[in-house]
Amino acid sequence: MSSGLLRARDFPSDLVAREVRAQRWVRVRRGAYLQSGDGLTASVDPVDSHRLHLARIAAVDRQAPAPPTFSHGSSALLWGASLWRVPQHVHVTQSSSASGRRGRDVVRHKLDLPADDVERRSGVLLTSRLRTLVDCITTMPPLSALVVADSLLAQGLDRESVAVALDERGSRRGGRRARMVLAEADGASESPGESALRFFLWAHGFPRPELQVRVVTRLGTFWADMGWRRWNLLIEYDGLVKYGTLSGGSASDVVVQEKRRQEAIEDEGFRVLRVTKYDLERPRQLVERILRYLPASVSVNLSPVPELLLPASWR
């Protein structure tokens, strides 16, 4: 994880300045850099954001006087969990207040962690999967919390163990909403986009959809992301990666394969509604669009329930 990290203290200051000006080095945090290979920039690109945050974790670990324990979203990233948004700050949990200079890019949670809540992974200390999920769903906005919960449950984390850990916290802040998120979480969700789509359905009061709906067709058996068999409606979340080189073929080949797949599914009597990340940016319009495919007897809320209110930029 930290092999590509460059510490300013190991190089002449004029060399560091020259590499940064030439955009060959990207600043991770004060005194720490990464080489900008493969087009890495300090941008909002998801891949770059993940790599930069992992580099910040490595830098914080190296620069700390004692090994810190990474937690919350930072720990989730170390566990390989999906995140809706990469944290803007590195999160650590420690038993005492920080001494010396405190970095503005670090959020420190003061708490004595039981030994069972701490593990070592990728050469650093971090909270266990169980502790990480509890911390995330009690502090993150519900959309972000659901994405992490789906991902860690998909890794095999036991839901009942998480529920017990939440009960042991008692009535602390965030507990009720965390239980709501845990009850809705499902490890069958295969991407952050699918989790986000389910979140909007949940927040607006749609009946819970079935996930990974099995459909036998003339071309073989396919699984749709989610849907309602009783209304013959399936919803597919289309991530852009599906249509790029990472899909294992050219974009045109993938489009043709998807078209044949959808036609075969529709031949079995299903309607297929496709949703992209751009639809998720306009949830009210998405809700109204899905409603047009459902019976008039289905009632939902055009505004999300208060406990699941989204940030203003997502309304």
Q: Report the number of distinct structural domains present in the chain.
A: 2
- For residue 6, tell me if it sits in a domain: no
**Residue 101 above 60 pLDDT?**
no
Residue 201: the pLDDT is 95
Residue 6: the pLDDT is 85
Contact 304, 206 (CB under 8 A): no
Same-domain pairing of 101 and 204: no
Query: Quick one: tokens of 208?
Result: 């819970």
- For residue 7, tell me if it sits in a domain: no
pLDDT band at 315; cut points 50, 70, 90: very low
**Residue 192 above 80 pLDDT?**
yes
Mean pLDDT of the chain: 87
Same-domain pairing of 198 and 300: yes
* Among 97, 129, 133, 95, residue whose Cα is nearest residue 114: 95
- For residue 5, tell me if it sits in a domain: no
What's the pLDDT tens digit per position in 148-185? 999 999 999 999 999 999 999 877 788 899 999 999 99
Query: Domain end: 154, 184, 214, which one?
Result: 184
Residue 240: the pLDDT is 56
Contact 96, 110 (CB under 8 A): yes
Same-domain pairing of 170 and 201: no
Same-domain pairing of 157 and 218: no
**Residue 190 above 90 pLDDT?**
yes
Contact 41, 48 (CB under 8 A): yes
Q: In what order do the strands lie in the sheet with 118-121?
A: 106-110, 90-94, 69-70, 124-127, 118-121
What's the pLDDT tens digit per position in 21-52? 888 888 888 888 888 764 555 554 555 788 88
Signed CA dihedral, 29, 48, 185, 300: sign only: positive
Residues 6+ apart with CB under 8 A from 183: none
Same-domain pairing of 196 and 309: yes
Query: Domain end: 150, 184, 218, which one?
Result: 184
Provide the CATH number for the domain around residue 203. 3.40.960.10
Same-domain pairing of 199 and 233: yes
Same-domain pairing of 230 and 159: no
| Strand 124-127 with 25-29, pairing | unpaired
- For residue 143, tell me if it sits in a domain: yes
Sequence-ordered strand ranges (E) for 54-157 = 69-70, 90-94, 106-110, 118-121, 124-127
CB atoms within 10 A of CB 298: 14
Which range marks the domain in which residue 275 is found? Answer: 192-314
Residue 113: the pLDDT is 94
d(CA 53, CA 61): 12
What's the pLDDT tens digit per position in 38-92? 455 555 455 578 888 999 999 999 889 899 999 999 999 999 999 999 998 999 9
- For residue 196, tell me if it sits in a domain: yes
Place of tokens 């659901």: 146
- For residue 147, tell me if it sits in a domain: yes
Q: In what order do the strands lie in the sheet with 210-217?
A: 210-217, 220-228, 233-237, 271-275
Same-domain pairing of 200 and 307: yes
d(CA 186, CA 30): 39
Same-domain pairing of 120 and 72: yes
Residue 245: the pLDDT is 43
C-alpha Rg value of the chain to the nearest Å: 22
> Distance of CA 124 to CAs 34, 88, 105, 120, 169, Å?
19, 19, 18, 5, 26
Same-domain pairing of 293 and 217: yes
Contact 243, 203 (CB under 8 A): no
Residue 310: the pLDDT is 56
Region 275-304 average pLDDT: 91
Name the residue with higher pLDDT: 8 or 204. Answer: 204
Sequence-ordered strand ranges (E) for 101-258 = 106-110, 118-121, 124-127, 210-217, 220-228, 233-237
**Residue 100 above 50 pLDDT?**
no
Query: Domain end: 184, 216, 232, which one?
Result: 184
- For residue 242, tell me if it sits in a domain: yes
pLDDT band at 243; cut points 50, 70, 90: very low
Same-domain pairing of 124 and 209: no
Region 262-268 average pLDDT: 94
| Alpha-carbon torsion, ordered 61, 64, 68, 70, to 10 deg | -50
Give the rounded percent of residues in the chain with a pLDDT score beyond 90.
Answer: 62
Same-domain pairing of 210 and 268: yes
- For residue 28, tell me if it sits in a domain: no
